[in-house]
Amino acid sequence: MEVRLLRHTPEPELLVASAAKLCYSKVGIEDITKNLSRKKQNEFIKKLLKMGHLSPFEHISFTFGIEGISRACTHQLVRHRIASFSQQSQRYVSFEKEEYIVPRTIKKGLKTKFERLAEDSLKFYQELIEEGVPQEDARYILPQAFCTKIVVTMNARELFHFFNLRCCNRAQWEIRQMAEAMLVEAKKIAPNIFMKAGAPCVQGACPEGELSCGRPKRRHLTAS
């Protein structure tokens, strides 16, 4: 899996603090970025997060390029509605080599069988195309394990929600790994904004009740 931050709003913490400044003072548009030192920016950000005043975070966005993930994973990802997605098309892009994800729980003989079936599906897919079956129909035989690529854009408020759900230990393992990698990248650009982002237990109590994993997350997702 590869997760890369392709683009982001320039000076995201300054922009969030500027929007907050406009909300809480008489300042005009021309002056909202003036006298906003790093310290002042951080103070505004902490205040907003503590109050739950999250609309200023909607002004900044982050665009990620992600590859080496399965279709099963992206089917979960695209359920996050306040986001934009551009995914590699199985209708227009043909597949010629075996690129698929094997869950770690599938081991030994089962793994061999899994790989054989995945490879056989690709061979049959190619045979269908050679026989004149449209690519958009031949793709039906491809399993969800096959790799895909996707570009994802979310604003920071939606990323808070995404990380809250998908960094949790109870999230499906592949999308959890992806979410954690995205959070590391986001923290490199806006460390104050995403300081407490992640699974709910990073900030407080676990909301899962009897379904809790019982293993609170450590705040280990830091930029390297």
Task: Round to whole Å and give the CA distance between 146 and 144.
Answer: 5
Task: Round to whole Å and give the CA distance between 157 and 160.
Answer: 5
3-class DSSP state of 94:
coil
Query: Are 176 and 168 spatial neighbours (Cβ–Cβ below 8 Å)?
Result: yes
Catalytic residue status for 116: no
Distances (CA, A) of 74 to 7, 24, 52, 140: 20, 40, 29, 16
Half-sphere exposure of 224 (CA within 13 A, CB side): 4
Given the residues 38, 81, 157, 166, select the one marked as catalytic: 166
3-class DSSP state of 7:
strand
CA Rg value for the chain: 21
Residues with active-site annotation: 166
